[in-house]
Amino acid sequence: MGKNIAYKYLQLAEKLQQMISDGAYSEGNKLPSVRTLHLEHNISISTALQVYAYLEKQGWIEAREKSGYYVRYSHRRNQRALPPISKPILKPAQVQVNEQLARLNHYNVGIKSISLIGAAPNPKILPVARLKKALAATARELTDEYIPYGHIQGYEPLRKQIARLSLNWGRAIAPGDIIITNGMLEAATLCLRAVAKPGDTIAIESPTFFGLLLAIENLGMKALEIPTDPVTGIQLDKLEHAFKQKKVQACLLVPNYGNPLGCCIPDPQKEQLAKLLQQYQVPLIEDDVYGDLHFGIDRPKTVKSYDQEGWVLYCSSFSKSVAAGLRIGWIIGGRYHEKISQLKFMASGGTSTLPQLLLNKYLNQNRFDLHLKALRQALSMQTRQMSKAIQDYFPASTQLTQPQGGLAIWVVLPPKVDTWQLFDAARQEEIIFTPGPLFSSQHVYGNCLRLSNANPWTEEQDYAIKTLGRLIKTQL
């Protein structure tokens, strides 16, 4: 790139940045289209795209699929600091989250509670009416195919649907490579059993989803937590060091919008990770349950996209995009396909056919891509609204993530705050959230919490964040 071109794109980017700071473009306002920028400023289309790419990287604007570029609701001048890269102890540890999870679940049942936990999108932003139509159509057309045991790998027409969807994340998969499971956690558990045994050590992000920690704990395995960046994900140099030292037998990672950080490993680093797996012959269980919930224009690729020798066991589900209650997940097991099939047979004998028939009917009758577009836009808006409320009500030193996809916001509070104590105080106000210690095997993150962006923003949600802010300040 010539110096004049570089200077021109930076000059225009800084001008737009100043206009946002001065209020000429307010939060949520749509910016001129790329074509308008090209015509009005006499620059090429590629230079106009560079202008917006620069502003997006700096946190001033965001791209919305097939809609254009908008000023972020929490642009740079107002944003709180990001949490630092995590620093777990680089030593395998026994996982013990069962007791803490039981404590959380005990109180996550109150009808009156305002939930900030949501593990799946609120039904209000899911295709409930279309699912009902698909259910009625399935019932009308039903023969006897749901009565006998189904194929151990799952209903073939649904596997064909999933195979077609695999093109969205950059890898063509054959229906015969897919095994349907009872949700994502069964998928992860089967994969863990396929690649490791009790006493083995599994590399994970730190922090990571407590459901994955629970699977490791229940199988008698250990966890090695790897430092993780809140934007770009797991630190590959630290992971490779563990490979070199032969400290781990497998990895269990969420590369796209991991829970709770919402981080996303950039595609070039995913390719690098795939090469490391091949070089050291370490299997990766890739949880991509949030991959379709990206807020930007392009879906991120998967590590499986770069897998050449079958070391990546890819897992996902429809729980976060269609209906969690259907309990439909799947595995693409690579070199472990046959072993996973055997384990699946021993574990459950197959997945219930009726939910598969319903989901297949829904996918056949509807434009799934259009639903995903609307869902992503809703989740993006809800994330911005919750982030803004956190900035308004929480202490000034609060740090929080800026996820570009997924269902979680990770909040780091001042060191004095104990989020289990905060949890107890909040439930007295009929508010439920997830304390940070649940996301680690090392008894850390005591001043952290995860909030869910799964629910449409309401006065009730705003009240809950405001109340949490007040309760936090009582601990300072």
C-alpha 387/C-alpha 27 separation (Å) is 13
Q: Would residue 78 count as lying in a domain?
A: no
| Domain-terminating residue out of 313, 334, 368 | 368
C-alpha 232/C-alpha 229 separation (Å) is 5
Contacts of 11 (CB under 8 A, 6+ apart): none
User: 393-423, pLDDT tens digit by residue?
Assistant: 999 999 999 999 999 999 999 999 999 999 9
Q: Is 82 within 8 Å of 230 (Cβ atoms)?
A: yes
Q: Would residue 85 count as lying in a domain?
A: no
Helix (H, G, I), strand (E, B) or coil at 226: strand
- 432 and 285 in a common domain: no
Torsion of CA 401, 412, 265, 87, to 10 degrees: 160
**Among 420, 356, 325, CA closest to 152:** 356
Tell me what pLDDT residue 362 has: 96
CATH number at residue 118: 3.90.1150.10
* Beta strand spans in 323-400 (E): 329-332, 399-400
Average pLDDT over residues 233-262: 96
Tell me what pLDDT residue 22 has: 64
- 162 and 311 in a common domain: yes
Average pLDDT over residues 140-162: 89
Q: Is the pLDDT of residue 340 over 90?
A: yes
Tell me what pLDDT residue 447 has: 98
- 446 and 358 in a common domain: no
| Host H or E run for residue 315 | strand 312-317
Tell me what pLDDT residue 101 has: 84
| Range scoring the smallest mean pLDDT among 31-40, 122-131, 433-442 | 31-40
- 330 and 400 in a common domain: no
Tell me what pLDDT residue 108 has: 66
Contacts of 433 (CB under 8 A, 6+ apart): 116, 117, 423, 426, 449, 450, 451, 468
User: 182-208, pLDDT tens digit by residue?
Assistant: 999 999 999 999 999 999 999 999 999
- 232 and 219 in a common domain: yes
- 245 and 364 in a common domain: yes
Q: Is the pLDDT of residue 3 over 50?
A: no
Residue numbers of the domain that contains 110: 93-122+372-473
Tell me what pLDDT residue 206 has: 97
Q: Would residue 436 count as lying in a domain?
A: yes
Torsion of CA 317, 372, 311, 181, to 10 degrees: 10
How high does pLDDT run on average in the chain?
91
Q: Is the pLDDT of residue 119 over 90?
A: no
C-alpha 134/C-alpha 56 separation (Å) is 39
- 116 and 136 in a common domain: no
| Domain-terminating residue out of 368, 402, 437 | 368
**Dihedral pair phi/psi, residue 402, rounded to 5°:** -125, 70
Contacts of 23 (CB under 8 A, 6+ apart): none
Tell me what pLDDT residue 105 has: 80
Helix (H, G, I), strand (E, B) or coil at 322: coil
Average pLDDT over residues 160-172: 88
CATH number at residue 326: 3.40.640.10
Q: Would residue 80 count as lying in a domain?
A: no
**Among 117, 121, 155, 140, CA closest to 328:** 155
User: 23-82, pLDDT tens digit by residue?
Assistant: 777 777 889 988 888 888 888 888 888 888 878 876 788 887 767 888 876 544 456 789
Q: Is the pLDDT of residue 424 over 80?
A: yes
Total number of domains constituting the chain? 3
- 211 and 273 in a common domain: yes
- Amino acid symbol at 386: M
Tell me what pLDDT residue 73 has: 64
Q: Is the pLDDT of residue 5 over 60?
A: no
Tally of residues, the chain: 476
Q: Would residue 439 count as lying in a domain?
A: yes
Tell me what pLDDT residue 268 has: 92
- 297 and 185 in a common domain: yes
Q: Would residue 77 count as lying in a domain?
A: no
Q: Is the pLDDT of residue 109 over 70?
A: no
CB atoms near residue 198 (< 10 Å): 9
Q: Is 454 within 8 Å of 114 (Cβ atoms)?
A: no
Six token digits for residue 355: 């939910």
- 378 and 359 in a common domain: no
User: 201-242, pLDDT tens digit by residue?
Assistant: 999 999 999 999 999 999 999 999 999 999 999 999 999 999
pLDDT over 70, % of the chain: 95
Query: Helix, strand, coil % (nearest 5) of the chain?
Result: 45, 15, 40
> What is the value of pTM for the model shown?
0.85
- 425 and 468 in a common domain: yes
Task: Tell me the range of 5-19, 45-59, 320-334 where mean pLDDT is highest.
Answer: 320-334
Q: Is the pLDDT of residue 1 over 70?
A: no
Average pLDDT over residues 152-159: 95
| Domain-terminating residue out of 317, 342, 368 | 368
Pairing of strands 61-64, 329-332: unpaired
Tell me what pLDDT residue 87 has: 95
- 385 and 272 in a common domain: no
Six token digits for residue 243: 């490979």
| Range scoring the smallest mean pLDDT among 94-98, 166-170, 203-207 | 166-170
The alpha carbons of the chain give a radius of gyration, in whole angstroms, of: 23
C-alpha 462/C-alpha 467 separation (Å) is 9
C-alpha 83/C-alpha 413 separation (Å) is 10
Tell me what pLDDT residue 74 has: 55
Q: Would residue 86 count as lying in a domain?
A: no
Q: Would residue 167 count as lying in a domain?
A: yes
CATH number at residue 67: 1.10.10.10
